[in-house]
Amino acid sequence: MGDNLPYRPKGDSDEAGRNDDLDDEEEEIDETGYKTVRDAVLFAIEVNKSMLRVPQPTSASKKSDNSSPLLAALKCAYHLMQQRIISTPKDLMGILLFGTEASKFYDEDENSKGGWSFPHCYLLTDLDVPEADDVKALKELVEAESPESAEIFKPAKEPVSMHNVLFCANQIFQQKAANFTSRRLFIVTDNDDPHSSNKESRSQATVRAKDLYDLGVTIELFPISTADHAFDTKLFWDDIVYRSSPSDPDAIVHNPPSIVDAGGSKLVSGAGDGISLLQSLLSTIASKVAPKRALFSSVPLELAPDFKISVKGYLLYKHQKPARSSYIYLGSERPQIVTGYTEQVAEVESDRRPVEKAEIRKAYTFGGEKVTFSDEEVKKLRNFGPPVIRVIGFKPMSKLPMWANIKNSTFLYPSEEDFVGSTRVYSALHRKLTKDQLFGLTWFVPRKNAAPVMAAMVPTLTAEGSDDKPNAAGVSATGAPQGLHLIPLPFADDIRQNPPSTHEVPLRAPDELVDAMRPIIQQLNLPKGIYDPSKYPNPSLQWHYRILQALALDDEIPEQPEDRTIPKFRQIDKRVGSETIEWGKVLEKAYKQYQAENPDAVPTGSKRATTNGAAGSSSAATKKVKTDAAGGTNEEEIRKLWQKGQLAKLTVAELKDFCATKKIPVAGKKADIVERIEEWLENK
């Protein structure tokens, strides 16, 4: 029995195996990647002669803006600052220049006691919530004529000490972002060995880097390579930037793979011009901006009676809309933020007074009568027990139809808060479902008093890796992490009837028409056969933010939005233009053949040609219906239908006609109109 213990190397004793199991169960998991947390980012950009050198334009880089590496890094910070104001307005961001002749650190000056605390460190933008003025100032700096010649970019005559730079960053984080969960230091430099001849300074820098990690600050290196010099991280930076496990999707970006060779330590040369550097920096940074959204925490996952583990739920996908943060009152000298409140008053004009919450009862209409409930009764009606994810059983994945996915899924992540060992059980369940291609059918109550739903517990469908890009993390094709997902399923009440069909047997395209369409589908297939949402920003949302940004920063108003969802018609015509024309000919031929074989068939949506007599009888029938309907909308008939609870059988037009005669509002849906008529009849 001892040799069969899981997670135990052979040759160990049973007791040692059990102790290892206990250690594994008590191991905490890192959940920071799935929480909505405030983020603080500090750019530390080196200033030296090579960073200020403008690269020579080459024929290969037609779109190059010939920016120096320093200016490209500042442009990157500028664009990220623009993004942060809109996407994450509560996050902090700052810019620290090091290696400058000038020094600036808060209220210090050269006459301060003891001189500069951090010489050759210039705090260009303090670590704070970005404001429009900060963005404008940075924009003026990077868009100025020959910005590299600005006074603040004058390099120092003596080399700057890296341990001093890291200690300066440490002080900034402690003063401005002491309690932040996410704190990151972005170092942009082309110097791969700043302390090649000074072992003491090198050792001090290593200690300062360790202090930052102990503080919870993540250091991320953005090294710059040129055609003349390949950046080698082994010389110095491997001791400063800690490498993370490659299986962690949220690991530190240490030498991004797009610009690193197979060895992993030297950067490939040739990517030194400003525009390509800016694009690589922005693509690396932008991928870390959006946080996941927490939905619930510590809900028990009940696998069997008295067998539970605790999990947390997160929304990996959420529809984004432009959000108005506040209302503004413009009636005074200065615009003021309006604080709104809601007050309910009695409907009777003779008693227009605020109604207390205790006086209000909720009512539902049933059979023409109002059935009222107190708050306690409503709570009891909505109470289906405490929050739980209860596994009812397991079924093959083939039994889960595609149409059953009616809402966005919830990602489950194990938690050790309530039940120790949840991570191990979660992992075993995930592997079993993946191996046998099963899904769990669950009863899901996410929160107290929430409506219960039936949900399918599905493991992440791992994307296939390749030799160039192995999928060690097991993420899906769309980037979803490895784990379990809850997909809400429809109840019988949610399924709507199919629309009526004019054909008893569904029409099927002939084989030759299908064969003609096959090459078109093959040529227009998406890259890798998947839809990648990261490549298609919401054009409506981006247009809203672009206008908002232009107004806040006094930029020019753009004329039209950038819409990446517009099909590339020229490429489509080039790829399948002739095939599409040929398919149209086959379709026309198949349609004529169908008409010949089915002469009595009526195309869907068209009208039969009628004779004058038929048209006259149809018109008479229409008039008769209208007359009958008009007669049925008088008050007496309406009251009879109301007493029988059959008001909803009338059409919307008939209801509106009656409302018009009685001056009853007709806004809203049919149910709203029926409710207003019922209230009018009750008060009559």
The residues that are catalytic are 35
Q: What are phi and psi of 151, to 5 degrees?
A: -65, -35
Q: Which helix (H) or strand (E) holds 173?
A: helix 162-176
- Cα gap 616→607, rounded to integer Å: 16
Contact criterion met (CB below 8 Å) for 129 and 81:
no
DSSP 8-state symbol, 267? B
- Cα gap 426→308, rounded to integer Å: 10
For 65: left if phi > 0, alpha if psi spans -120 to 50, otherwise beta; the answer is alpha
CB atoms within 10 A of CB 348: 8
C-alpha closest to that of 152 among 143, 141, 161: 141
DSSP 8-state symbol, 54? P
Burial class of residue 618 (count of CB atoms within 10 Å of its CB; 0-12, 13-18, 19+): exposed
- Cα gap 120→71, rounded to integer Å: 18
Residue with tokens 């229409």: 622
- Cα gap 543→558, rounded to integer Å: 9
- Cα gap 647→643, rounded to integer Å: 9
Ranges assigned E (strand) in 270-379: 293-304, 307-315, 327-329, 336-338, 362-366, 369-373
